[in-house]
């Protein structure tokens, strides 16, 4: 078993760890959005009491008209904010591309060292652990397969969230709920 294998399963493990943390954060964010939406609706859309006279009906119309105006203003402000953020995201993407272009991969020298030699160097006299490690590695390999599946699920799940993100997605969600 080479040292390359070890680092790739470790990489895999770290990646799945990061993804699972990101998953929790995204779930939290989604829950907060849902709560915020409910709070907003309760505050801004209380149940309508049916008008019982012409006067009440006219009052209701005036009130609704007024609400439409103020909500349209709010929508416009939010639209502007979204546009501004989108522009910032585009600018940052360009910057990232610029930086990637400038970044030169350093030339790495190959170090020829067996896993045993590496363990000996790292652990010194405790080198005997390596048999245990090897047994563990076999187990890790199996786990990686499981993680692969999990990663795919997380991938799909993230796409789901992406679909829900952005103005269009939000609109779709909203329409689906209505
Ligand atoms: C935001 O951008 C969209 C599309 O680029 C545009 O149609 C809209 O008018 C913009 N909104 C504001 C408030 O500038």
Does residue 157 belong to any structural domain of this protein?
Answer: no
- The closest-lying atom of ligand 1 relative to the alpha carbon of residue 80 is 13
| Higher pLDDT pick, 48 / 4 | 48
Q: 107-148, pLDDT tens digit by residue?
A: 777 777 777 777 777 777 665 555 555 555 555 555 555 555
Tell me how far the alpha carbon of residue 168 lies from the centroid of ligand 1, in angstroms: 14
Domain presence at residue 139? no
Asked whether residue 122 is domain-assigned, the answer is no
Q: How many residues does the chain have?
A: 178
Q: Output the residue whose Cα is nearest ligand 1's atom 8.
A: 79
The preferred substitution site among 79, 86, 168 for testing ligand 1, maximizing ligand atoms within 8 Å of CB, is 79
Q: Which residues line ligand 1 (CB under 6 A)?
A: 76, 79-80, 83
Tell me the pLDDT tens digit for each residue of 19-31: 999 999 999 999 9
- Total of domains in the chain: 1
In a domain, residue 144? The reply is no
Assigned domain for 18 exists: no
Q: Is residue 86 part of a domain?
A: yes
Q: Is the pTM of this model over 0.75?
A: no
Does a structural domain hold residue 65?
yes
pLDDT at 172 over 80: no
Residue 154 lies in a domain: no
Domain residues for the domain of 76 are 58-102
**Residues 95-110: tens digit of each pLDDT:** 999 998 887 777 777 7
Ligand 1 mutation pick, 83, 88, 89, 171, max ligand atoms within 8 A of CB: 83
Closest Cα to atom 14 of ligand 1: 80
| Ligand 1 atom having least distance to the Cα of 83 | 1
């Amino acid at each position: 078993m080479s040292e390359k294998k070890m680092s790739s399963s470790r990489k895999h493990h770290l990646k799945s760890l990061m993804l699972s943390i990101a998953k929790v954060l995204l779930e939290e964010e989604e829950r907060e959005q849902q709560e915020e939406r409910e709070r907003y609706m309760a505050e801004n859309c209380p149940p309508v009491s049916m008008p019982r006279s012409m006067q009440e009906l006219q009052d209701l119309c005036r009130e609704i008209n007024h609400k439409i105006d103020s909500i349209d203003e709010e929508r416009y402000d939010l639209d502007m904010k979204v546009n501004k953020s989108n522009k910032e995201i585009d600018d940052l993407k360009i910057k990232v591309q610029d930086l990637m272009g400038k970044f030169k991969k350093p030339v790495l020298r190959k170090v020829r060292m067996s896993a045993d030699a590496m363990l000996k160097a790292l652990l010194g006299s405790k080198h005997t652990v390596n048999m245990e490690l090897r047994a563990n590695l076999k187990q890790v390999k199996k786990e990686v397969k499981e993680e692969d599946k999990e990663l795919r699920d997380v991938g799909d799940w993230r796409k789901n969230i992406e679909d829900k993100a952005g103005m269009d997605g939000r609109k779709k969600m909203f329409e689906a709920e209505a």
